């Protein structure tokens, strides 16, 4: 028999939950976070006078940057091409290397707990080190130029794609895997026939996002000597040639915008 609910109780059940006073432990945590926030604002010396002066300086930068200087456009064009190539090579190499790494880090493809734990910790360690630090390491190791940038982006992509590929592999339903295993298929056959086909759309989307991320990162890597358009941007800003800097910024924006549009089109077709 259906239990009858009175009108006040029914109305009460539809009301949103009332705000409840946090516990003492949560109040302490909130107070600590607010303390760090206040100290951060104070340490940054974000005074009204400084902010107003900064707005005026940005106005001067825009006034000196417009119109953009196109006299060295050909040099900037080839530098941005080099940046894109660096990002593309680093991403492709990183995605390829991320596939075995993800298989080793997943529960349903690597039963050995020690191997899985070591792989996950290595991927986490790679991901926690900033790409700028990796770039400095590779510049010291192999010298200035695009090679240092490519190695940096490869490592950064492994840290990024290795984690998300692994999570997607672990989400695969066991049905197709069990069906192939029942036929006597090897682990290699199961991986090719049941795991990769199911995870493929998600892997493609993750790889395209990694490429967009690599293009943005490649610009920054050039500032520390890893090649690409970042070298030209750092030189223009250091020499106060803001009109040339604006030309470079516009080129970077066009390349990033184009890569995002390309990624969107591919995602719609694959997913």
Evaluated on CA atoms 261, 263, 265, 267, the torsion sign reads: negative
CA distance 138 to 88: 18
Asked if pLDDT for residue 4 goes beyond 60, the answer is: no
Using CA atoms in the order 144, 150, 152, 154, what is the torsion angle rounded to 10 degrees?
A: -160
Are the beta carbons of 204 and 265 closer than 8 angstroms?
no
Q: How many CA atoms lie within 13 A of 235 on its CB side?
A: 15
In the chain, what percentage of residues exceed pLDDT 90? 14
Asked if pLDDT for residue 137 goes beyond 70, the answer is: yes
R_g of the chain computed on alpha carbons? 26
Asked if pLDDT for residue 191 goes beyond 90, the answer is: no
Count of other CB atoms within 10 angstroms of residue 163? 20
Asked if pLDDT for residue 155 goes beyond 80, the answer is: yes
Range in 14-18, 217-221, 229-233 with the lowest mean pLDDT: 14-18
Residue 1: per-residue pLDDT: 47
CA distance 99 to 96: 6
Residue 220: per-residue pLDDT: 81
Are the beta carbons of 123 and 158 closer than 8 angstroms?
yes
* Token digits of residue 251: 């080129």
């Amino acid at each position: 028999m259906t239990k009858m609910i009175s009108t006040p109780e029914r109305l009460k059940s539809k009301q949103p939950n009332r705000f409840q006073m946090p516990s003492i432990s949560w109040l302490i945590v909130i107070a600590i976070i607010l303390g760090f926030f206040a100290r951060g604002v104070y340490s940054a010396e974000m005074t009204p006078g400084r902010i107003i002066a900064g707005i005026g300086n940005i106005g001067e930068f825009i006034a000196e940057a417009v119109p953009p200087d196109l006299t060295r456009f050909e040099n900037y064009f080839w530098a941005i091409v080099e940046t894109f190539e660096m990002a593309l090579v680093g991403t492709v190499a990183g995605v390829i290397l991320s596939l075995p790494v993800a298989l080793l880090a997943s529960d349903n493809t690597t039963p050995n707990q020690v191997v899985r734990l070591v792989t996950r910790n290595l991927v986490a360690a790679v991901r926690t080190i900033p790409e700028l630090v990796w770039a400095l390491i590779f510049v010291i190791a192999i010298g200035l130029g695009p090679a240092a940038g490519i190695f940096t982006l490869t490592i950064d992509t492994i840290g990024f794609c290795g984690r998300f590929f692994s999570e997607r592999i672990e989400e695969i339903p066991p049905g197709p895997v069990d069906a192939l295993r029942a036929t006597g298929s090897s682990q290699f056959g199961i991986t090719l026939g049941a795991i990769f086909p199911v995870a493929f759309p998600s892997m493609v989307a993750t790889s395209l996002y990694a490429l967009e991320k690599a293009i943005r990162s490649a610009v920054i890597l050039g500032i520390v000597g890893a090649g690409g358009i970042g070298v030209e941007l750092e030189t223009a800003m250091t020499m106060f040639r803001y009109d040339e800097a604006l030309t470079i910024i516009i080129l970077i924006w066009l390349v990033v915008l184009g890569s995002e549009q390309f990624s969107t089109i591919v995602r719609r077709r694959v997913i």
